[in-house]
Chain A
């Protein structure tokens, strides 16, 4: 028997609940108004380049990312700019945004909207990296890190492999799964585009074994691309975490505080590869994404192609509306997603899912004292001691937290998931990370 590739340490296997795995991607009707946040990505927010009253089309630049780590933002609809001020972000804070009233659906003329597959890549590597920046492409897996930054390999670092993440280890989410089934060839050309930009000869795709149809489709199509290999990976959360994925496929370990670049890799999501294809081959900036709108209470749950800036409420309505017993709406998946405080928060480039939990599903058991079972240590994919980090955070021992490598935590939530005492381990670890960063900044200055 062939051993299945996986990361060697820790991990959990929560119920998969991939309720929407068989629902084809459907485009969501245009809303009346979109609120496009200028800071949808990690890094500095973009600066608005439109004013109230301006007419925009789909694909018009509305925000320019000027800082090194930042990304451009484009209009995702055609219409009139209503306001350039603020809109709610997923945490409920008001952040700079451009609000556009939708009129028709007129696209910028340079965008190629035909469905034909363009396989020939004419752009040079420099052009590709440049255009990825212009098109505002960010990591589509959820973290929304500006993609072009990953491709600016610093001098002295050697990259030999492009790792493509089709794992989708979060329960409930099926957006990447559907993309791999329905846009197989586009994704593969997108990978070729990224591979060319990185000037490497090898690209590997990792897909969890619970998506056999996606593995088959990708393997079949990848036969035409000699430089792309597809790997099935064990169904184990967090298989899709960057460092865990590299370890699983390539058996290279990224040390704490280092980047995949340090072991010769760049990791991108399949959604990012598709966005790169659209950008380089079709001149289409990042304006929409596939979002899994799911939950047991939604009768029409499915995978929706949603324009960025559409309010959550619209997507939920299309999936069947809010049932009375819904207690929690989560942006992202159940493990790493965040509950949103308002249904008017807009879909961003990083919104991979909208998950509705009923009162019974969202129920939390009472927190009881730690029984030192060490299950959290067992499941931590990074090898930390979550029970200890929680304790240190409760007494505000930030220096000791730092010594115990709290900053290496990838916030996967496996510890909180497994804890039989239902302790909020990750909540305290996240707080610790913030405080340790503050402490380090203070001592540096």
Chain B
């Protein structure tokens, strides 16, 4: 009995020792030296692996940052959800002065709500914007409109997008949005744009709330607040900062040139320009149009 115990203990112990030696040799021979800084930088990043930086997850960005720090140039690398604070912390870690990055936010560029662009058809298919977009023009007839099915809401990893049942449109909650860009990728109609949060605590920003490139008459048939490409906003802005450009019947406000004065907002005949603040009162000449809109 005793013998059996001893033999088994010895043979098993021998096998274990043999494996231990093999494993030790392998681990020594094929050792991968990893820069300990990568791990530390990864710890400083938000750890949500959203991919907004362009790398596959936070460790990807960390690796790129370490490499860039060694070469002495970290420009072009940033963490949108983390924002300038995270980058500042990482800069301190490497002993670099990080250029301040704009705080950004996802902005929906469509005003095609249930009331502005009423439904003309019923949709029976699966509740997915991607599928609806591949099937037909959309519930309200505008080929650029939001489809009201909420692929962005599902895609948002921070629950910062909520579909408003009253308008049908998604709403971005500024406090939660990290501008990771998941909604930009999820929207089959490219309605979201990552734009600077804007000046001051009030985050003053102005944008064209439409993506429709059809001629004005056609666009207006489907939606009351479509950009009709009239160019009034362009003319107003040309006297100030030339931030608005017009292409394919659609105006675009360059957020880096825009000073958020809000003067373009009241001149838009279709209310297609949105602002996060109360825009200035229109001049006398425009009073009539403003009245009819109100």
Q: Is the CB of B143 within 8 A of A94?
A: yes
CB under 8 Å from chain A, chain B span 7-27: none
Determine whether the beta carbon of B143 is less than 8 Å from that of A431.
no
Q: Of B131, B136, B214, which contacts A94 at CB under 8 A? A: B214
Quick check: B134 and A430 within 8 Å, CB to CB? yes
B135:A91 contact, CB within 8 angstroms: yes
Instruction: Please indicate which of the listed interface residues A327, A341, A367, A434 has the most CB atoms of chain B within 10 Å of its own CB.
Output: A341
Q: Are B120 and A341 in contact (CB under 8 A)?
A: yes
User: For window 88-124 of chain B, which residues contact chain A by CB distance below 8 Å?
Assistant: 120-122, 124
Q: Are B125 and A92 in contact (CB under 8 A)?
A: no
B136: which of A341, A427, A428 is its contact (CB, 8 Å)? A341
B131 touches A427 (CB 8 A): yes
A364 CA to B122 CA in the complex, in Å? 13
Q: How far is the CA of A93 from the CA of B189 in the complex (A)?
A: 14
* Interface contact B135-A338, CB-CB below 8 Å: yes
Among A94, A328, A341, A434, the residue within 8 A (CB) of B134 is: A434
A338→B136 contact, CB < 8 A: yes
Residues of chain B within 8 A of A328, CB atoms compared: 124
Q: Kindly identify, within residues 407 to 441 of chain A, every residue whose CB is under 8 Å from any CB belonging to chain B.
A: 424, 427-428, 430-431, 434
| B169 vs chain A, min Cβ distance (A) | 20
**Per-residue contact bits, chain A 302-331, to B (CB 8 Å; 1 contact, 0 not):** 000000000000000000000000011000
Q: Which residue of A lies closest to B126 (CB)?
A: A424
Return the contact of B131 from the options A92, A338, A364, A428 (Cβ within 8 A): A428
- The answer to whether B218 has its CB under 8 Å from any CB of chain A is yes
* Residue of A whose beta carbon sits closest to that of B214: A94
A contacts with B: majority SS: mixed
- Which single member of B124, B126, B137 contacts A92 (CB below 8 Å)? B137
State A367–B134 Cα separation when bound (angstroms). 20
Asked if residues B136 and A92 are in contact (CB atoms below 8 Å), the reply is yes
Residue A362, interface by CB 8 Å: yes
Q: Is the CB of A342 within 8 A of B141?
A: yes
Q: Of residues 219 to 257 in B, which have CB atoms within 8 Å of A's CB atoms?
A: none
Cross-chain contact A93 with B131 (CB below 8 angstroms): no
Q: In the complex, are the beta carbons of B136 and A431 less than 8 A apart?
A: no
Which residues of A have CB within 8 Å of B128?
A: 427, 431
How far is B122's CA from A427's CA once the two chains are assembled, in angstroms?
17
Nearest CB in chain B to that of A423: its residue: B126
Shortest Cβ distance from residue A409 to the other chain B in the assembled complex, whole angstroms? 14
The contact string, 1 if C-beta is below 8 Å from chain A, for chain B 114-156, is: 0000001110111010110011111001010000000000000
Partner among A93, A362, A428 whose Cβ is within 8 Å of the Cβ of B143: A93
Contact A427 B143 (CB under 8 A): no
Q: Scan A363-388; emit 1 where CB is below 8 A from any B CB, else 0.
A: 01001000000000000000000000
Query: Contact check: which of B124, B126, B137, B218 meets A428 at CB < 8 Å?
Result: B126
Q: B134 to A431, Cβ gap below 8 A?
A: yes
Q: Smallest CB-CB separation from B137: which chain A residue? A: A92
Q: Which residues of B contact A341 (CB under 8 A)?
A: 120-121, 136-137, 141
Chain B, Cβ-Cβ closest to A362: B124
**Alpha-carbon separation in the docked complex, A427 to B135 (Å):** 9
Contact between B125 and A427, CB atoms less than 8 A apart: yes
Residues on B with C-beta less than 8 A from A93 are 136-137, 143
- Are A94's CB and B218's CB within 8 A? yes
How many Å lie between the Cα of A341 and that of B125 in the bound state? 13
A338 to B123, CA, bound (A): 12
Which residues of chain B are near A431, meaning CB under 8 Å?
128, 130-131, 134
B121 contacts which chain A residues (CB < 8 A)?
Answer: 341-342
Chain A residues whose CB sits within 8 angstroms of the CB of B131 once the complex forms: 424, 427-428, 430-431
Q: How far is the CB of B249 from chain A (nearest CB, A)?
A: 13
Quote the shortest CB–CB distance from A407 to chain B (angstroms). Answer: 15
Q: How far is the CA of A155 from the CA of B292 in the complex (A)?
A: 70
Q: Report the bound CA distance from A309 to B130 in whole Å.
A: 30
In angstroms, how far is the closest chain A Cβ from the Cβ of B72? 34
Within 8 Å CB of A342, what residues of B? 120-121, 141
Known A341-B120, A362-B124, A424-B125; contact A91-B137, beta-carbon cutoff 8 A: yes
Residues in B with CB closer than 8 Å to A338 are 135-136
Q: Report the minimum CB–CB distance from B184 to chain A (whole Å).
A: 15
**Bound form: Cα–Cα A94–B120 in Å:** 16
Q: Which of A338, A342, A364, A431 has the most CB of B within 10 A?
A: A431
* 8 CB < 8 A contacts A-B: A92-B137, A92-B141, A341-B141, A342-B141, A362-B124, A367-B126, A424-B131, A430-B134
Which A residues contact B (CB, under 8 angstroms)? 91-94, 327-328, 338-339, 341-342, 362, 364, 367, 424, 427-428, 430-431, 434
Chain B positions near chain A (C-beta within 8 angstroms): 120-122, 124-126, 128, 130-131, 134-138, 141, 143, 214, 218
Q: A93-B143, A342-B141 are in contact. List 15 more A-B contacts (CB 8 A).
A: A92-B136, A92-B141, A92-B143, A94-B143, A327-B122, A338-B135, A339-B136, A341-B137, A341-B141, A364-B124, A427-B126, A427-B131, A428-B131, A431-B134, A434-B134
Can you list the 3 inter-chain pairs with the closest CB atoms, starting with the nearest? A92-B137, A424-B126, A91-B136
